[in-house]
Amino acid sequence: MVLNPVISKLSGKLVVLASSSPRRLEILRNAGLRFEVVPSWFKETLDKRLFKAPHEYAVETAKQKALEVARRMPIKHLKTPDMVIGADTIVTVDGMILEKPVDKQDAYRMLSSLSGKEHSVFTGVAIVLCHEKDDDEVDYQLIDFYEETKVKFADLSQDMLWEYINSGEPMDKAGGYGIQALGGMLVEYVHGDFLNVVGFPLNHFCKQLDMMYNHCSFINPEKTESVYDSHSTPILIEQKDTSTSIPKPSSPSASPLHKVKKKDRESEANINSLSKQDAGEIKLHNSETAILRSREGAVTDHSEPQKGDLELIYELMDGFKASKALFTASKFCLFDVLHKKPGLDAEQIAQEIEASVKGTETLLEACVSLGLLKTRDTRRPKPGFENADVASCFLRSDSRFSLNAYILHCNDTLWPVFSHLESAVREGTSQRGKVKASTEICQEAKLRFMHAMHSSAKVAAAAVATAFDLSSYKTACDVGGCTGAFAYELTKTHPDLSVAVLDLPAVVEMSGPFQRQHADKRVTFKAGDFLKDELPKADLYILVRILHDLSDEKLHILLRRISDACTPGCGLLLSEIFLDENRSGPSRGLLQALSMSEGKQRSAAEYSRLLKGHGFITAQVKHTNNLLDAMLCTKA
């Protein structure tokens, strides 16, 4: 595809997406781009009235998002990206700009205004290139552009609109619909780039990279900042800025990025002609087919291997080595040692962890290459080592968001299970039985498992607890809540809420250390089997990482029992890894499915349909960009 000739030029560079949109992540990852996600903190409060055209508003918002991340990362993240990509998608109809609805009524207002009409979807994109200088200053180059796609809605009945709104899908989508999922049923036709409506104009983006790296000489890493405004009109400005704050422009032309000098118009004509050549009408009989066509049309066979593709394959082949390096370092308490005694050299660390000097030195260097450790005093004959920020946050056993216990669980339990993956795939069954024969099953092992679940739950708990406004609920039941990690986070976030944690008697008996650690009287524990015993009465029932592990039979038994316990208006808070609608990601959920448990990983829409069958209407869906996503439903 168009991206392949430039992917090698991005290899080894730190490319950052200043967006948490799962749609943009999927589109760019499917294109083969490797990047990190750093959501922008820019408040999207630009005054729409100050912009002459809708696309100017989208472009300016994208620009401010990308620049905020580009300027923040060297200071807050202690690393300077090579490229930051920002994007903003809006829908316009009858002169109005529609962004994400704030509630169901707002979603109804938006969708009603689109019914039976053709509207425009604009995505503004900004690419910021960062150049670090010898004096620790950073020069920024900026390229921005936009894409417009025309979409026509069918005439929609009120019942159809509310059925779609109650699915929860509109709540985080510009214009209140997702064309790649259930929203595709609302659409009669599309003129232009389908992926632009999904959230990112991949074709236009690829052509921009091709222009930047293969056909243009305007990129100057020394002193110029390059800008494409509007539909990719190339302009040049001079810019040097190391501030971390972004001034809000009083008007679209007031930003310091718009002091311009016009360049040759020929490239604009070339880009416009390419856009027209590739533009077309997609009749949406099946939105998933449209996505596949748009991807297949962008793929080209290459007789020579592409460097980016080759690196991806090698990264996958070596992935188990990286995992085992992390597991081994955690097993040796390496990150705890360096937290207490930062700056130790390899020989000193070897003494601390009681390992060979050669083995320790090799492990340390591997952890540095993985970004888990940093070296310091490199001019010394024996350089010292210290934890990287990510290790201080997640890998120390005593940090608030420590994943240490879960990492050890992965090493001791999941690693042996996945070593039988070939048999699991061939048989379609879990291989835990083969591992149990050689694994000690005792009270201590069960307690280690609970610590593992508690450590991973703590990391996701805050994001799920703050995903929705739960102030209308006073009592909750955390079904299968194990150590109460989510319950404690919920009461911290919602002080008026009391939570009963329901789990098996053996689990409740061993949860004493976790209860004493928090000592919150609003959280109580009840012993029982949620498939057999009476459920505590509550206004809100909570299911965190429960449904994906249950067989269809057990799943329906549990949901039927919860439904029977609920009165109309009761809530159900579901938290799982939500797969994409076409089951292409996220890979974490799909790889977990390889354990071949009796359950199934699902998308948000699949969970929504499942719950609807038991009388629950999805009110909101939240992709948290944490370990787990969340869905809030109400009993009809």
User: Can you give the length of the chain in residues?
Assistant: 636
Distance between CA atoms of residues 349 and 346, nearest Å: 5
Longest dimension (CA), the chain: 76
Cα separation of 58 and 360, whole Å?
A: 51
- Cα distances (Å, whole numbers) of residue 269 to 149, 185, 245, 260, 264: 19, 36, 36, 19, 10
Annotate 590-618 with b (16+ C-beta within 10 A) or e (fewer): eeeeebbbebebbbbbebbebbbebbbbb
Task: Give the CA dihedral 88, 130, 17, 213, nearest 10 degrees.
Answer: 90
The CA R_g of the chain, rounded to the nearest whole Å, is: 26
Q: Where are the beta strands (DSSP E) in 154-242?
A: 187-191, 224-229, 233-238
CB 51 within 8 A of CB 230: no
Exposure string over 4-19, b if 16+ CB within 10 A, otherwise e: bbbbeebeeebbbbbb
CA distances in angstroms from 303 to 5, 300, 306, 603, 627, listed in the order given: 13, 10, 9, 37, 39
CB 92 within 8 A of CB 122: yes
User: Residue 479 corresponds to which amino acid?
Assistant: V
Q: Give the span between the Cα atoms of 88 and 91, in whole angstroms.
A: 10
- Residue 357's CB is within 10 A of a number of other CB atoms, namely 14
The per-residue b/e assignment along 278-311, b for 16 or more CB within 10 angstroms, e otherwise, is: eeeebebeebeebbeebbeebeeeeeeebebeee
Per-residue CA distances from 305 to 57, 217, 409, 488, 600 (Å): 41, 27, 38, 52, 36
* Marked catalytic residue, from 82, 88, 210, 520: 88
398 is catalytic: no
Question: Tokens at residue 435, please?
Answer: 């591992």
Assess contact for 31 and 51: CB atoms under 8 A: no
Region for residue 76 given its phi and psi (left: phi exceeds 0; alpha: psi -120 to 50; beta: otherwise): alpha
Read off the tokens for 353: 């962890």
Residue pair 69/21 in contact by the 8 Å Cβ criterion: no
CA gap 528, 534 in Å, rounded: 8
Task: Give yes or no for a contact between 28 and 324, defined as CB atoms under 8 angstroms apart.
Answer: no
Q: Is-contact 192 231, C-beta < 8 A?
A: no
Distance CA 615, CA 564 (A): 10
Mapped onto helix, strand or coil, the DSSP state of residue 544 is strand
Angle, alpha carbons 453-458-462 (nearest 5°): 145
Residues with catalytic annotation? 88
